[in-house]
A = this chain, B = another copy of it.
Amino acid sequence: MTPKGYAPANSFESPRFSGVRTFMRLPLVRDLEGVDVAFLGVPFDTGASFRVGARFGPEAVRSASHLLRPFNAGAGVDIFEHVSAVDAGDVSVVPGFIADSFTRIEADLRPVYAAGVVPLVMGGDHSIALPELRAAAATHGPLALVHFDSHSDTWDSYFGHPLNHGTPFRRAIEEGLIAPEKSIQLGIRGPLYAASDLDDARALGLTVLTTDDMREMGLREVIAQAQARVGATRAFVSFDIDFLDPAFAPGTGTPEVGGFTTWEAQQLLRGLAGIDVVGADMVEVLPAHDPAAITAFAGAAVLFELLTLVAIRRRDS
């Protein structure tokens, strides 16, 4: 590997369990000069409706990511030949205050997007997708959304409040941040409040593939639909770790049985190669419910595939 710019510490020189924990042992750099991809933590969980604690998600994912190596063998990509990446620390949040936090998150992310850097965000609960999308759309306009999740997160409100981790994508569509006709939700499953829940998501213009739909059609067809849907539109990928089955990701806020394996998730993410990912997140890792840290390892692996997608795009364009 001849790194293009910023790259991970060399694990043949210092062991992977050493050093202050940054994502993938990347340098901790705030100045985005010469940076293609910036990993950023958003330690916010005030939007959570059940289990809470995703504010410690970035810490756990950074820790688990120390096992990652620079060559994605499944995709055949030597990542840092194509991208320069850093850990840019955490954005500002105010625990206990959603609207105020959203303002700060958006404010911190806007210059990242404006600089043409791809932020890969470690959540945090899923409510943060809204300020992320606000920042992204300010630079890129309405985005194609590829959304992995067991929940549609398009409810209207909880207890009279429109902002929490069950509503970001409805808000984003209402605000014109997402192009729903270019967007797709993958993995929806589990009990709903009413038959209308999925209809509502579809009425917003989203394509919704449930877990049962996906098992019926097979991974290749799912990939084909996602690619067709997104096309050349600039895309945001949002990956709620509860897309995975609780056996693979127990440490999450609203675990939903009957989900996917990490191998399936890897195949699907690799299937997105070629899409123009301008921003992405991986959310809802709750370390306090992750005694063996496998959720954190899964979350790090998802981010690794997202990073690879950016590298492939840079390599090929």
Contact = CB atoms under 8 A, between A and B. Distances in A.
Interface of A: 1, 11-22, 28, 41, 43, 45-53, 55-56, 59, 62-63, 66-74, 76, 78, 87, 89-90, 92-98, 100, 158-161, 163-164, 189-195, 197-198, 210-212, 215, 245-248, 250-251, 254-259, 261-263, 266, 288-294, 297-298, 301, 304
Nearest to A78: B195
B191 A69 contact: yes
Q: How many monomers of this chain does the complex have?
A: 6
Contacts of A210: 73
Nearest to A304: B191
Nearest to A291: B291
Given A18-B55, A76-B195, A246-B248, 5 more contacts: A94-B158, A94-B160, A96-B98, A191-B304, A246-B297
A259 B289 CA distance: 22
B12 A69 contact: no
Contact of A297 (B92, B192, B197, B255): B255
A263 B245 contact: yes
Contacts of A212: 74
A42 to B, nearest CB: 9
A251 to B, nearest CB: 7
